[in-house]
Every structure is written in structure tokens, then in C-alpha cells.
């Protein structure tokens, strides 16, 4: 169920939430943390994720859970094809 209250939080804080969700789901040592960078200028700014290949499914699941809680990233997440698998 989607939260009635949405809040956009800075990318650094969002990534901390994201990595916390991933670590709760998966405790394997090979699943490194998701990193990020903010690209673009002004209204064109986007948050680009650097996702370990081993964490792709867990990251997708964690993003979905955060959205269900009403937690969004600012600047907005870039389209999926811009995210980098590491």
C-alpha cells in the first residue's frame, strides 16, 4: 500500500535508506553497497545509481519498498538505462 504522505529526500539520505533496505534483505558479503552521483544542472539534475550486479534485483525491490513508504529521491532518479552496473 502506498503511503498517503510522500517526501523527497536528498540523494545521500536516499542511498542510505536504500542500502539499509538491501542489507535487511540480503546479508551475503558479496553484495556491495549502491553508490550514486548527481548529474546535470538546475532542473535537469538526476541521481544516477551505481549498482553492483549482484544487487540489481535487491536494489529494484528496495526502491519499490521505499516508494511504498512514500520516500522519493531528490534530485529524481535517472531513467533506468542511465544507471551503471558495477
The arithmetic mean of pLDDT across residues 53-72, rounded, is 91
Q: Is residue 19 part of a domain?
A: yes
Q: Is residue 1 part of a domain?
A: no
pLDDT of residue 78: 77
The arithmetic mean of pLDDT across residues 1-21, rounded, is 87
Residue 65 pLDDT exceeds 70: yes
Residue 30 pLDDT exceeds 70: no
Report the SS3 class of residue 6.
coil
**At 2, is the pLDDT very low, low, confident or very high (cuts 50, 70, 90)?**
low
In sequence order, the 6+-apart residues with CB closer than 8 A to the CB of 13 are none
**What is the residue range of 52's domain?**
7-85
Q: Is residue 56 part of a domain?
A: yes
The arithmetic mean of pLDDT across residues 27-42, rounded, is 82
Residue 80 pLDDT exceeds 70: no
Q: Is residue 2 part of a domain?
A: no
Total number of domains in the chain: 1
Amino acid at each position: 500500500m502506498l503511503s498517503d504522505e510522500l517526501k523527497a529526500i536528498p540523494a545521500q539520505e536516499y542511498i542510505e535508506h536504500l542500502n539499509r533496505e538491501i542489507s535487511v534483505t540480503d546479508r551475503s558479503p558479496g553484495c556491495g553497497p549502491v553508490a550514486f552521483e548527481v548529474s546535470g544542472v538546475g532542473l535537469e539534475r538526476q541521481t544516477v545509481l551505481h549498482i553492483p550486479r549482484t544487487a540489481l534485483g535487491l536494489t529494484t525491490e528496495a526502491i519499490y519498498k521505499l516508494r511504498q513508504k512514500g520516500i522519493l529521491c531528490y534530485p529524481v532518479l535517472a531513467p533506468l538505462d542511465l544507471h551503471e552496473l558495477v
